[in-house]
Amino acid sequence: MDKHTIGRSPDVVPLIAKLHEAQRAYKAEKNKNDGIRAQLSSTVAQVLELQITEREGELVADVLIELMRQAEKDVRHALSEQLATQDNVPLRLVLQLANDDIDVARPILMSSPVLGDFDLIYIIKSRTPEYWHAIATRKALGDQVIDVLAETRDFDTAVALAENMAIKLTPQALTVMSDLAQGSEILSVPLLRRNDVPEDLTKALYKFVGEEMKKFIRKDAGIEATSAEQAVDALEKVVSQFTETSPYKDLMPEEFMINAAQAFKQKGLLNAKLMVGTLRRGHIRSFVAQFANHAELPIHKVCQILSQSSGQALAFACKAYDIDKQDFVSMFMLTSKIRDHGRMAEMDEVRKAVSYYNLIKKDAALEYIRSRSQH
C-alpha cells in the first residue's frame, strides 16, 4: 500500500510526542549528556521504522529540523548517518542536513537517495569544494551532475570522479578532466584505469606524462616503449597481470598514496581523525595506505582485515593500535561496502562489531594482529 494513502499509524502519535519531549529535554540540558543523545537517537530510529503518511513525515521533519537548529554537531552528524540511506525521509529534512557543516552533510551528500539531480546541482553551485568531493563519490550520478562537477575544475573533485568506478563519465567531463590531468599522475592514473576513457584520450593522457609512464613500464615490466600507443599496450598488460593475481585489486593503493601516507606519518599527522576523514571523502585505497603505515602492517594484510565479514579483525586492529571506539565505529561503517558488496552496515552488525571492540584487551589484540601478520 502506498505510504501516502495509508491511514495514520497508531504508534506514530506517541512517538512524535516523545520526539517533542526529547527535544525539550535536550534544549533544557546544559551538558547534553549521553542519555539525552541516546534518547533522541532511539526515538528518531523508532519513528523512521514506521510506515508513516506524508503528513506524519512532515510533522516529524518539523520536529527534527527544529532539533537540529539547537543540537550540537555530533548529534546532527549521527542523525545524518542514520538518514543517509533511507528513501522515505522528507526532502526538506535531507536538504537541511545536506547544507549543514561538511562533517554533518557528508553522509547525506554521498548516499542519500532522496536528493535528485536538481538538488545536487544547487548544492554544487552554492557550496564549497568539500561538498563537491562528497557528491563526486555517489554511486549514482546523472550526466548533468557529472558535467557540473567537472566544470568546477576543482582538482580533488576530478580525482574523486576519476576514482568513482560506479559511474560513467560524460564526454564533456572527460575533456575537462584530461585538461586538469596534464602533468599529474594523481589524476591521470585513475583516468587511465577506467573503461569509459576513449582510446584517443588515453593516448593523450600518456602524452601528457609519457616519460614517467615509460619509466614505470621499463622498470616494472622490462618493456621499452617508443610511442604513446606502445606505452598504452604495455601498461595494459602490466595492469591485467596485477589484477588477475590480486584478490584485493580494488583496495590496493597507488604508489603516490603510499608515499603520501608515509609523509603524513613522518610529520606526525597520521592519526585516526585523518584516516576517518579520508574514508568520508570516499578514498578507500588512500585509507588502506594510511592504516598500513599507522599500524606498520603489510598492505595486503590491511586489505584482509577490511574484507573480513564480521568486522572482528578491524576491531582487533583498532584496539591494538589505540584507535578509540568512536573512530572504530566510523571506520567500520564507512568500510562496510567493502565487506558486503556495496551494502551499508546494519545496526545489528555495528553492535556486534562494537562488542568485539569492547571485549578484547589491547595486549591480546596486538598479539592476535601480529600473529596473523606472519602468515
State whether 22 and 96 are in the same domain.
Answer: yes
Alpha-carbon span 361 to 4, nearest angstrom:
50
Which range of 54-68, 135-149, 255-269, 305-319 scores highest in mean pLDDT? It is 135-149
Residue 131 lies in a domain: yes
C-alpha cell recorded at residue 315: 576491531
State whether 215 and 137 are in the same domain.
Answer: no
pLDDT score, position 20: 67
Residue 203 lies in a domain: no
Cβ–Cβ < 8 Å for 96, 65: yes
State whether 122 and 84 are in the same domain.
Answer: no
Which residue range is the domain that position 213 belongs to?
Answer: 209-245
pLDDT in tens, 274-329: 898 888 877 888 899 999 999 888 888 888 888 877 677 888 888 888 898 888 88
State whether 266 and 364 are in the same domain.
Answer: yes
State whether 126 and 50 are in the same domain.
Answer: no
Q: What is the mean pLDDT of residues 143-152?
A: 96
Of 110, 144, 171, which residue is a domain's last?
110
Residues ≥6 apart with Cβ < 8 Å to 279: 287, 330, 331, 334, 335
Residue 17 lies in a domain: yes
State whether 359 and 291 are in the same domain.
Answer: yes
pLDDT score, position 36: 60
Alpha-carbon span 335 to 268, nearest angstrom:
24
State whether 272 and 368 are in the same domain.
Answer: yes
Alpha-carbon span 321 to 334, nearest angstrom:
19
Number of H helices and number of E strands within the chain?
24, 0
pLDDT in tens, 40-68: 666 666 666 666 677 777 777 777 777 77
State whether 260 and 319 are in the same domain.
Answer: yes
Which range of 2-11, 107-116, 220-229 scores highest in mean pLDDT? It is 107-116
pLDDT score, position 259: 84
The residue ranking higher by pLDDT, 294 or 19, is 294
State whether 241 and 263 are in the same domain.
Answer: no
DSSP assignment, residue 92?
A: H
Residue 47 lies in a domain: yes
- Which secondary structure element, helix H or strand E, spans residue 357, and what is its range? helix 347-359
Q: What is the dihedral of CA 145, 148, 150, 153, to 10 degrees?
A: -150
Alpha-carbon span 233 to 255, nearest angstrom:
21
Domain count for the chain, please give it: 4
Alpha-carbon span 135 to 140, nearest angstrom:
10
Residue 4 lies in a domain: no
Residue 234 lies in a domain: yes
Distances (CA, A) of 50 to 45, 60, 283, 325: 9, 12, 34, 30
Other C-beta atoms closer than 10 Å to the C-beta of 248 total 16
pLDDT score, position 2: 38
Other C-beta atoms closer than 10 Å to the C-beta of 8 total 11
Residue 205 has pLDDT above 90, yes or no: no
State whether 41 and 77 are in the same domain.
Answer: yes
Q: What is the dihedral of CA 8, 11, 12, 15, to 10 degrees?
A: 160
Of 110, 127, 150, which residue is a domain's last?
110
Residue 213 lies in a domain: yes
Residue 164 lies in a domain: yes
Q: What's the CA angle centered on 367, arms 361 and 371, to 5 degrees?
A: 145
Burial (CB < 10 A; 0-12, 13-18, 19+), residue 223, is middle
pTM for this entry = 0.55
State whether 262 and 363 are in the same domain.
Answer: yes
State whether 259 and 365 are in the same domain.
Answer: yes
